[in-house]
Amino acid sequence: MPAIREFIRQVAAVKRKDGKNVIPIIIGGDHSLMYSDVAGLADVYGKGNVGVIHFDAHYDATKNLFGHMISHGQPVYRLIEEGHVPGKNFIQVGLRGYYPNKESFEWMRKQGFRYHTMAEVEKRGWKGVMEDIIREAKDGPEHLFISFDIDVMDPAYMPATGTPEPNGLTPRETFPLIRRLCAESNVVGFELVELLPYRVSGYETVLNSERIVRECLVGITLRKKGITDKSYFAPLTVDDDRE
């Protein structure tokens, strides 16, 4: 983990020709990567100066797991405990299943977490929840890291992962949100994790994973080009110019 943290620090510290820092895009690997990735970015931008949007079916903030202090179930807790990211700068999206439990939700509230469960999506509808996520992403540190655990999506679309949970997000919900977050926020890093392609022989997981990374890159490009239309599509794709 120290080697990964140092690698991310070195990459993120590189200046591009336009004077801005390189944006590391990480493909994992289990979610323990999140600790090293975010800590490495905090080494560049400063502790408390990087906010995290955490897409996941699970909250990944257990104190220990099977005797381990760093694993795929603990990166959020470690980042908070070590002061890299205050709880108020975490936004969690897509929580469902057995965890977090009641005690965990209470801990999250105490830390100042902002979170959006699938139960909230069912109650309020996706559009309102999505707008809240985007608004909250702008209400925090200048720098934003997106951590995307593929099990946030329904296993119909992402079956090849280690801990799938039913009733997750769909591509139609996920892709526009990733694109808008990367277009409307100052994203300094992005990770896609928990990809386990050998578990399922189908092509769905790889196809959708590639598209998620592509949506992030499109969003970053839109921001760089100054395109601010929230639902931008290239004109040729939506109009055939017939009367």
CATH number at residue 211: 3.40.800.10
238 located within any domain: no
What is the four-CA torsion angle of 52, 144, 148, 216, rounded to 10 degrees?
170
Angle 150-153-157 (CA atoms, 0-180°, nearest 5)? 95
pLDDT computed for residue 77 by the predictor: 87
In a domain, 120, yes or no: yes
pLDDT digits (tens, 9 = 90+) for 182-207: 999 999 999 999 998 888 877 899 99
Establish if 232 belongs to a structural domain: no
Residue 215's beta-bridge partner residues?
A: none
> pTM to 2 decimals?
0.93
Residues 169-177, mean pLDDT to the nearest whole number: 97
Q: Give a yes or no: residue 101 inside a domain.
A: yes
Identify whether the C-beta of residue 45 lies closer than 8 Å to the C-beta of residue 22: no
Please report which confidence band the pLDDT of residue 36 belongs to, taking 50, 70 and 90 as the band edges: very high
Question: How does residue 73 score in pLDDT terms, banded at 50, 70 and 90?
Answer: low
The whole domain housing 85 covers 2-6+23-198+205-225
Tell me the per-residue pLDDT of 85-98, one tens digit each, with 9 for 90 and over: 999 999 999 999 87
User: For the residues 133-154, what does the mean pLDDT come to?
Assistant: 95
Q: Which helix (H) or strand (E) holds 110?
A: helix 102-111
Is a pLDDT exceeding 60 seen at residue 146? yes
**Confidence tier at 66 by pLDDT (50, 70, 90):** low
For residue 88, the model assigns a pLDDT of 92
125-158 exposure pattern, b = at least 16 Cβ within 10 A, e = fewer: ebeebbebbbeebeebbebbbbbbbbbbbbbebb
Q: Is the pLDDT of residue 68 over 70?
A: no
Question: Is the residue at 242 inside a domain?
Answer: no
- Residue linked to tokens 């965990």: 104
Confidence of residue 72 (pLDDT cuts 50, 70, 90): low
Report d(CA 168, CA 35) in Å as an integer: 24
Q: How many domains does the chain have?
A: 1
Using 50, 70 and 90 to split pLDDT, how confident is the model at 232? confident
CB–CB of 59/104 below 8 Å?
A: yes
Tokens (6 digits) for 239: 């109009």
